[in-house]
Amino acid sequence: MPRRTAKSTASKSTAFSSVLVPKVTSKRFYGHGLPRCDVHALNGKLVVVEGADGSGRSTQIARLVEWLEACGHHTVQVGLKRSTLVSEELELAQQGNILSRTTLSLFYATDFADQLENTILPALRSGSIVLADRYIYTLMARDLVRGMDESWLRNLYGIALEPDAVFYLEVRPEMLVQRVCAKNQALDYWESGLDLGLSRDMFDSFLKYQGLMRDTFRRLQRVYGFQIVDGQQAPNALSEDLKRKMEHVLRGS
Ligand SMILES: Nc1ncnc2c1ncn2[C@@H]1O[C@H](COP(=O)(O)OP(=O)(O)OP(=O)(O)O)[C@@H](O)[C@H]1O
Ligand SMILES: [Mg+2]
């Protein structure tokens, strides 16, 4: 076995000297938060990429992860319906379309809480950069469009940690429909808002529903102050834009 020499140790430290160590900034929950969580121990960064179906979230998160990891950062990814606790049951319940709006909402909140407690907070404690493919804003917007009470939702999601940054990729519904059809050759029942009875025509329903979602996101943006990013830019221009914004997050500026 080759022994590590002083030279190899030195060159290793030089190689890593250019890593931008994320500046630790204070964190807080939106409301009551989770019990027994010391926010001062959360050294990592939580960055959320929000946007409609087909807005380019997966594409951009994959590029950010590749770039961050190449820069020496450890990343962790989370997203909706990815909890080990209830994601499978939630998927089944949605296929059957048997739950009331409130029950479905609470199911999603459970999925979120499980990931917060068991993935997001431990990763932040260990100094990782957590990239969230959607967060509480999509969940709130979906419920608000369906007429649920805003103060009830705000209280429910008072458990959520305030992210270091939220990038909302805004794309016109007419462009979304083209992207989703090109990618999946079909529109999704829920993402077309078919449960709302906006139109009998699925395309028309998708356009109307996504228009309502965009209006609701703009309203939430004024409350939560996240960054609206032009998701209609070419993928490379958009990634450069997001990398610049991410650098600010790492510097704590
Ligand atoms: N900036 C862009 N310009 C044009 N097309 C794009 C852009 N970004 C992504 N796409 C394309 O749009 C489609 C949807 O992209 P992607 O899967 O990244 O979106 P998403 O928001 O993760 O969607 P989903 O809600 O289905 O998870 C893909 O076919 C992708 O290649
Ligand atoms: Mg995706």
Assess contact for 159 and 170: CB atoms under 8 A. Answer: no
Of 69-78, 94-103, 106-115, 138-147, which gets the smallest average pLDDT?
94-103
- pLDDT greater at residue 98 or residue 248: 248
pLDDT band at 17 (very low <50, low <70, confident <90, very high): low
- pLDDT greater at residue 2 or residue 130: 130
pLDDT band at 239 (very low <50, low <70, confident <90, very high): very high
Residue 199, helix vs strand vs coil: coil
State the average pLDDT over residues 35-64: 97
Q: What single DSSP character describes residue 119?
A: I
Residue 21, helix vs strand vs coil: coil
Q: Which amino acid is at 95?
A: Q
pTM of the model: 0.92
79 lines ligand 1 (CB under 6 A): no
**Pocket residue to mutate for ligand 1, from 58, 82, 172, most atoms within 8 A of Cβ:** 58
pLDDT of 116 > 90? The answer is yes
Domains and CATH numbers, the chain: 28-247 (3.40.50.300)
